[in-house]
Chains A and B, each alone.
Chain A
Amino acid sequence: MQQLWLIPILPLLGFLLNGLFGKRFSKPVINTIAVGSVVLSFLWVLKTLTGLSAFSGGLEETYKEHYYTWIQSGALNISVDFAIDRLTAVMLMVVTGVGALIHIYAVGYMAHEGGYYRFFAYLNLFMFFMLILVLGANFLILFVGWEGVGLCSYLLIGFYFLEKFATDAGNKAFIVNRIGDFGFVLAIFLVFIHFGTLDFATVFAQVRGMPVEASAGIFTAISLLLLVGATGKSAQIPLYVWLPDAMAGPTPVSALIHAATMVTAGVYMIARTSQIYLHSTNALEIVALVGLTTAFVAATIGLAQNDIKKVFAYSTVSQLGYMFLGLGTGAFSAGIFHLMTHAFFKALLFLGAGSVIHALSGEQDLRQMGGLRKHIPITFVTLMCAGVAIAGVPPFSGYHSKDMILEAAYQHAPWMYWVGVFTAGMTAFYVFRALFLCFFGKYRGHHHPHESPAVMWMPLAILALLSLGGGYINVPKFLEPIFPLAEGGTEPWLTYVSVAAGLGGIALAYLFYVLSPSLPESLANSFKGVYTLIYNKYFVDEFYDAAVVEPMVDGSRQLLWRVGDTRLIDGFANGIGTTARGIGGILRRAQSGYIRSYAAWVLAGAILAIAYIGFMGAPR
């Protein structure tokens, strides 16, 4: 036994300690518990993986631990099992590793915030659920983690609960995710109906023996419903709208939950159920299309945002789209590879943005920044590392993973490759636009910038190293036992084109925002229609409001409340009360209080009973 259960239980302990007694603890104690539990969890992951010799060619088979039977009802038999294979190993390393760094960073970032213990308690609870999600060996355990991280996401987005926009954003995230979860639940039902079990290993073993579907059928149905769940959690079209608003939470939350880990749960889930997807080419095609569309649309929105966190939020949506594109084109390991490198550089981007915001005492508007590279040099250098990583500049991490995805896209359909390359160019452009606006030119704000403390820049530095060198962690090779690598030679020009797109994006950003800062404005003026459309995020929120939210609210108020609740339900309940009262009013007259009248009633009743028996005969 490797005691896998310790991995999630440690953060849970941290949550319980800080959540129950945090109010009485001093800050150092809270820090020790919160950070310590996650670091211990990370060390335990390392020890477990070493024990299973995952780093030295072992762990080709799934290692599984059974704890107890949770639900036993008829044919439904669900046990609490944790399993670990190479896919889980990658996820565990990313979640606990990046998670630990972000916890350390948060100690510095949250130092002056209220609700300190509450923040770390939630963060630890999130780690617990995320690890459950990753370790679970059947659909239901995965779902428990899935819902749990959703809850923590809600709690942390609405962390500044005195601000209306924060609680609104929390609600939005929660409700939009419910739509996705609806699909996920239906998919789980379908799996149970058709396979009689929810255990991953059993289901996939059955699936493997079945023929690939030529047209739509059960596999397509399950896959598409799972995809609905994944689009909710991983912020894909059409359910991506919650993620940009989720930036209302504190920046470490944005980095941990809304960039590095939770939003990749959908990618992980699709990779985990890849056997089902591989049996439905239609579903895979749709995954690829959803991913590509999301990557493209979100990147265009990112071009015109002025809030530094919003830029990175749309960038996250866009990069998640890349991962889906990788999954959809059958390059599952490339998708997971990108998931890992993205966790490094996007966490770094967010933490760096947090460091900038911290330096400017809460300013998030790019137009109020500028010239900060002299004031906060460490943040500047680390953010540049993240920038070149996400832009796909060789030999940094983003280049390796994105390149694999684009290559798979080319082999799948060349037009997808070209859209992907164009998106890669836009990615480089908007990230460097944000960085140039932030660090170059003249300072336009009026706060006094100051560099962040070591507890904040140390995690930045580590993440910067990972962003630069993470591409040499050969994840696809590592995942080969699960996702066989595609055969066939690569065409070198594909790489050149995508790298050129990235460099071109950077160059364009440099031209626009460093060399001649007046150019973007005139360009925006000459393409006013397009600019307004992008600046307002294609009016998708407004459209959803008009098409879904308003009818729902109106319908609830006019029909469900005024008619359904007030008239029908209340009317029914009140009617019962009034009727009972009326009958009682009549009957109470019989209760005179005179014992002789009661006796007379008894006598009359007895006579009636005897008369009945006498005339009708005794019942047999």
Chain B
Amino acid sequence: MPLHFGPLPAAVPPSWYLMLSAILFALGVLGFLLRRNIITVFMSIELMLNAVNLSFITFSYMLKRVDGHIFSFFVMVVAAAEAAVGLAIILTVFKNRQTLEIDEVSSLKN
């Protein structure tokens, strides 16, 4: 049986999904910019990635193409890998500096 993409029940319009995606993305950006704890910043990045995933899926549904699905899988894989590496970096930073304050980790300057 071929996969069938019919209209969703109770018909939530696609634009809502897109708006939700935009709101989530904006929250992620704000969190990234305003929070100082590295872990929160990291979570904000994950939030942005997932917001983008959501818009990918939505567009894929609207355009009746699978490209968006494939892309979002890629993003998930990358996000998982990035989470592993990123958390390892955060652990090492904390071990060396006893702080998670992001503005104090600026030694790559100059």
Residues of A within 8 A of B (CB): 591-596, 599-600, 603
How many A-B pairs have beta carbons closer than 8 Å: the answer is 26
B11 at the interface (CB under 8 A from A): no
Of the A-B pairs whose beta carbons lie under 8 Å apart in the complex, a sample of 23, sorted by A's number, is A591-B110, A592-B106, A592-B109, A593-B106, A593-B107, A593-B108, A593-B110, A594-B103, A594-B106, A595-B41, A595-B102, A595-B105, A595-B106, A596-B32, A596-B33, A596-B102, A596-B103, A599-B29, A599-B32, A599-B33, A600-B33, A603-B29, A603-B33
Within 8 A of A (CB), among B41-99: 41
Question: B36: nearest residue on chain A (CB-CB)?
Answer: A596
CA distance A595 to B35 in the complex (A): 12
Question: A591: nearest residue on chain B (CB-CB)?
Answer: B109
Q: Is the CB of A593 within 8 A of B33?
A: no
Tell me how far the C-beta of B56 lies from the nearest C-beta in chain A, rounded to whole angstroms: 17
Q: Which residues of A contact B102 (CB under 8 A)?
A: 594-596
CA distance A591 to B102 in the complex (A): 16
* With A593-B107, A595-B41, A596-B102 already in contact, 17 other A-B pairs whose C-beta atoms are closer than 8 Å: A591-B109, A591-B110, A592-B106, A592-B109, A593-B106, A593-B109, A594-B102, A594-B103, A595-B106, A596-B32, A596-B33, A596-B103, A599-B32, A599-B33, A600-B33, A603-B29, A603-B33
Q: Which residues of B contact A596 (CB under 8 A)?
A: 32-33, 102-103
Tell me how far the C-beta of A116 lies from the nearest C-beta in chain B, rounded to whole angstroms: 62
CA distance A170 to B33 in the complex (A): 75
If over half of A's interface residues share one DSSP class (helix, strand or loop), that class is named, otherwise mixed; here it is: helix
* Across the A-B interface, the 4 shortest Cβ-Cβ residue pairs: A593-B109, A593-B106, A599-B32, A594-B103
Tell me how far the C-beta of B102 lies from the nearest C-beta in chain A, rounded to whole angstroms: 6
Tell me how far the C-beta of B21 lies from the nearest C-beta in chain A, rounded to whole angstroms: 15
Q: Which residues of A contact B41 (CB under 8 A)?
A: 595
CA distance A362 to B110 in the complex (A): 70
Tell me how far the C-beta of B39 lies from the nearest C-beta in chain A, rounded to whole angstroms: 14
Q: Which residues of B contact A603 (CB under 8 A)?
A: 29, 33
Within 8 A of A (CB), among B6-41: 29, 32-33, 41
CA distance A599 to B110 in the complex (A): 18
Tell me how far the C-beta of A596 lies from the nearest C-beta in chain B, rounded to whole angstroms: 6
CA distance A249 to B33 in the complex (A): 82
Tell me how far the C-beta of B36 lies from the nearest C-beta in chain A, rounded to whole angstroms: 8
CA distance A603 to B106 in the complex (A): 20
Q: Which residues of B contact A593 (CB under 8 A)?
A: 106-110
Question: A588: nearest residue on chain B (CB-CB)?
Answer: B110
Tell me how far the C-beta of B33 lies from the nearest C-beta in chain A, rounded to whole angstroms: 6
Q: Which residues of A contact B107 (CB under 8 A)?
A: 593
CA distance A443 to B102 in the complex (A): 102
Q: Which residues of B contact A594 (CB under 8 A)?
A: 102-103, 106
Q: Which residues of B contact A599 (CB under 8 A)?
A: 29, 32-33
Q: Which residues of A contact B106 (CB under 8 A)?
A: 592-595
Tell me how far the C-beta of B110 lies from the nearest C-beta in chain A, rounded to whole angstroms: 7
Question: A603: nearest residue on chain B (CB-CB)?
Answer: B29
Q: Which residues of B contact A600 (CB under 8 A)?
A: 33
Tell me how far the C-beta of B2 lies from the nearest C-beta in chain A, rounded to whole angstroms: 33
Tell me how far the C-beta of B82 lies from the nearest C-beta in chain A, rounded to whole angstroms: 15
Q: Which residues of B contact A592 (CB under 8 A)?
A: 106, 109
Tell me how far the C-beta of B65 lies from the nearest C-beta in chain A, rounded to whole angstroms: 19
CA distance A593 to B106 in the complex (A): 5
Tell me how far the C-beta of B77 lies from the nearest C-beta in chain A, rounded to whole angstroms: 23
CA distance A591 to B32 in the complex (A): 18
Question: B34: nearest residue on chain A (CB-CB)?
Answer: A596
CA distance A603 to B102 in the complex (A): 18
CA distance A593 to B109 in the complex (A): 4
Q: Which residues of A contact B108 (CB under 8 A)?
A: 593
Q: Which residues of B contact A595 (CB under 8 A)?
A: 41, 102, 105-106
Q: Which residues of A contact B110 (CB under 8 A)?
A: 591, 593
CA distance A592 to B102 in the complex (A): 13
Tell me how far the C-beta of A213 lies from the nearest C-beta in chain B, rounded to whole angstroms: 76
Tell me how far the C-beta of B55 lies from the nearest C-beta in chain A, rounded to whole angstroms: 14
Question: A595: nearest residue on chain B (CB-CB)?
Answer: B102
CA distance A603 to B48 in the complex (A): 13
CA distance A599 to B29 in the complex (A): 9
Tell me how far the C-beta of B8 lies from the nearest C-beta in chain A, rounded to whole angstroms: 28
CA distance A591 to B106 in the complex (A): 11
Q: Which residues of A contact B33 (CB under 8 A)?
A: 596, 599-600, 603
Q: Which residues of A contact B103 (CB under 8 A)?
A: 594, 596
Tell me how far the C-beta of A189 lies from the nearest C-beta in chain B, rounded to whole angstroms: 58
CA distance A522 to B108 in the complex (A): 93
CA distance A595 to B38 in the complex (A): 10
Could you say which of B32, B102, B105 has the most chain A C-beta atoms within 10 Å of its C-beta? B32
Tell me how far the C-beta of A585 lies from the nearest C-beta in chain B, rounded to whole angstroms: 13
CA distance A596 to B33 in the complex (A): 5
CA distance A592 to B109 in the complex (A): 6
CA distance A594 to B105 in the complex (A): 8
Tell me how far the C-beta of A293 lies from the nearest C-beta in chain B, rounded to whole angstroms: 76
CA distance A126 to B33 in the complex (A): 78
Tell me how far the C-beta of A604 lies from the nearest C-beta in chain B, rounded to whole angstroms: 11
Question: B104: nearest residue on chain A (CB-CB)?
Answer: A594
CA distance A595 to B36 in the complex (A): 10
Question: A596: nearest residue on chain B (CB-CB)?
Answer: B33
CA distance A209 to B59 in the complex (A): 81
